[in-house]
Structure 1
Amino acid sequence: MSGYYEPTDRSYTKVYKEHTPDILKAFADFDATVFAAEGREIPLKFRELIALAVSITTQCSYCIDAHSKNAVKAGATEAELAESAWVATAIRAGGGYAHGRLAFKLSGLHEH
């Protein structure tokens, strides 16, 4: 994977545990609630596929690792992973398209 990703990077969680254990616990509780297997309106498989698409969009190697595996555990197929990746690709491309329009607006060449 790209970036600085190494499986041992998780060991640095100890810094959060040492300095901000209350925030770490709140985040872990929040994350566990969002990805609870039951009790949510959107089925877990779909939430994990959404998380995977967002992870690809933000290019977070750690999140891609976790959510691709979690999506499969929740019943996602390889075809669903592929479609999630294409959704992320379309959103990133759309962002470039929309921000291009913003560049035209902000350039001062098109005063209204």
Structure 2
Amino acid sequence: MADYFDRTEDRKYTAVYKKETPDILTAFTAFDNAVFQAEGREIPLKYRELIALAVSITTQCVYCIDAHSQNAVKTGATEGELAEAAWVATAIRAGGGYAHGRLAFKLSGAHQH
């Protein structure tokens, strides 16, 4: 991970988005800010950050894991809550493997009814 992930230096590449697709970057930033605004949402920010952390772990995005784990702690999440979010992500990934494994039986044609 350390070979390609640099929390500070990697942000410099946002300049490419700003130069090449500033309209999309502006729209994405507004969208992201709306999703993670502190007030005015049904789900409290701490829980949205824990959801984001679990999704980040599921998609294995190191940048998102970095940001959302820190943001969750800033909103009051405990290490226990971070651990449970990680286990939720793990269960979902494992469940996906289990469920999609059934497709191997279905699609192989080897299973006899």
Specify if TM > 0.5: yes
- Cα offset, 1:10, TM superposition: 1.1
SS at match of 2:70: helix
Task: Report the equivalent of 1:15.
Answer: 16
- Cα offset, 1:103, TM superposition: 1.2
Is the 1:2–1:61 contact (alpha carbons within 8 Å) kept by the matching residues of 2? no
Distance 2:2 2:100 in 1: 25
The reply to whether residue 100 of structure 1 matches residue 95 of structure 2 is no
SS at match of 1:76: coil
Distance 1:36 1:111 in 2: 53
- Cα offset, 1:3, TM superposition: 6.8
Task: Report the equivalent of 1:69.
Answer: 70
SS at match of 2:37: coil
Query: Residues 58-112 of structure 1, C-alpha deviation per residue, up to 9 Å, x if partnerless?
Result: 0000000000000001110010000000000000000100010011111111266
Distance 1:3 1:107 in 2: 40
Q: Structure 1 unaligned segments of length 5 or more: list them.
A: none
TM-score (norm: length of structure 2)? 0.94
Distance 2:35 2:2 in 1: 27
TM-score (norm: length of structure 1)? 0.95
1:1-112 equivalences under 5 Å are: 1=1, 4-7=4-7, 8-110=9-111
Q: CA RMSD in A?
A: 1.3
Is the 1:45–1:71 contact (alpha carbons within 8 Å) kept by the matching residues of 2? yes
- Cα offset, 1:2, TM superposition: 6.2
Q: Structure 2 unaligned segments of length 5 or more: list them.
A: none
Q: Taking structure 1 as reference, are residues 41 and 3 closer, same or farther at Cα in structure 2, changes over 3 Å only? A: farther
Distance 1:91 1:111 in 2: 29
Distance 2:3 2:26 in 1: 27
